[in-house]
Amino acid sequence: MRLVLIGPPNAGKGTQARKIEAHYDIAHVSSGDILRKHVADATVLGQRAQGYMDRGELVPDDLIIDLVNDTLESTDIEKGFLFDGYPRNPVQAEALDDFLLEKGVTLDKVIYLHTDDDVLIRRATGRRICPICSTVYNIFGFAPKVEGVCDRDGAQLIQRSDDKEETVKRRLEIFEEQTAPLVEFYELAGLLLHIDASGTPDDVFDAVISELDQG
Ligand code: AP5
């Protein structure tokens, strides 16, 4: 399986990516996770990216394309892969095509998760993440056993700085302006799977697997 997962902020891309990765035993490459790791480690690249991320804007293409290509060089993508949050605009889609062409592979499907903006904003304001193991929770339904504490490692959960309501609204605008054109691009290429992401994570996962297994 060689897959791309696109969708607006908080559609559940990371949640589904972890399930799909385990189901097909493929590599999961999340551009947001890669960037957050750089920010947490205070690398030069992380310092350059942080302002854009805090404002809810895309980091510059040159930065993200090099970063993802570097990650891919050291990732085993032989068995398949799932890109989560990348590509995010037509320039990145072209860069991905070039990379895959060089490797002699093509994409199988692009999964587009979508639901209403009010659902996305509610999910954002309820999201909490573990700074150690990156497990994602939500106070409106997927809460940890003990409030504010990670079930896996006992760390204090945090709220992402870009999950404030006004930043989420900005991220939604950016999605419409810059990422939504990819929906048509991949639809025309015959690769797009439309998935309604408003159900429970298990419902959404079942819909994804059922579509993928139909080929
Ligand atoms: P990134 O981390 O990619 O953020 P995003 O696309 O905005 O997506 P999110 O991580 O916010 O949400 P998600 O869809 O993964 O949802 P999740 O599963 O966590 O990017 C962050 C920033 O990095 C960008 O703004 C940009 O600055 C930069 N960046 C990243 N990639 C870039 C690129 N390619 N180019 C340039 N810049 C880039 O779920 C959300 C919440 O909802 C959770 O609490 C979860 O528990 C809950 N939930 C999930 N599914 C369900 C469900 N079905 N029902 C109820 N609750 C659910």
The single-letter code of the amino acid at 144 is: P
Instruction: Tell me the CA distances in angstroms from 116 to 15, 44, 47, 93, 203, one per residue in order.
Output: 17, 36, 33, 25, 17
Residues 86-142: pLDDT tens digits? 999 999 999 999 999 998 999 999 999 999 999 999 999 999 999 998 899 999 989
Q: What's the token pair of residue 72? A: 């891919």
Q: What's the token pair of residue 14? A: 């990371």
Domains, the chain, in order of start with CATH, read: 2-115+177-213 (3.40.50.300)
- Looking at the predicted structure, is the pLDDT value of residue 84 above 90? yes
Give residue 161 CA to ligand 1 midpoint distance, Å.
12
Cα separation, 87 vs 76, in Å, equals 19
* Ligand 1 pocket list (CB less than 6 A): 7, 9-15, 31-32, 35, 52-53, 56-59, 64, 85-86, 88, 92, 123, 126-127, 136-138, 141-142, 162, 171, 197, 200-201, 204
Proportion of the chain above pLDDT 90, given as a percent: 86
Q: Can 171 be counted among the known catalytic residues?
A: yes
- Give the torsion through C-alpha atoms of 15, 68, 98, 63, to 10 deg: 120
* Active-site annotation holder among 160, 164, 169, 170: 160
Assess contact for 109 and 193: CB atoms under 8 A. Answer: yes
pLDDT, position 77: 83
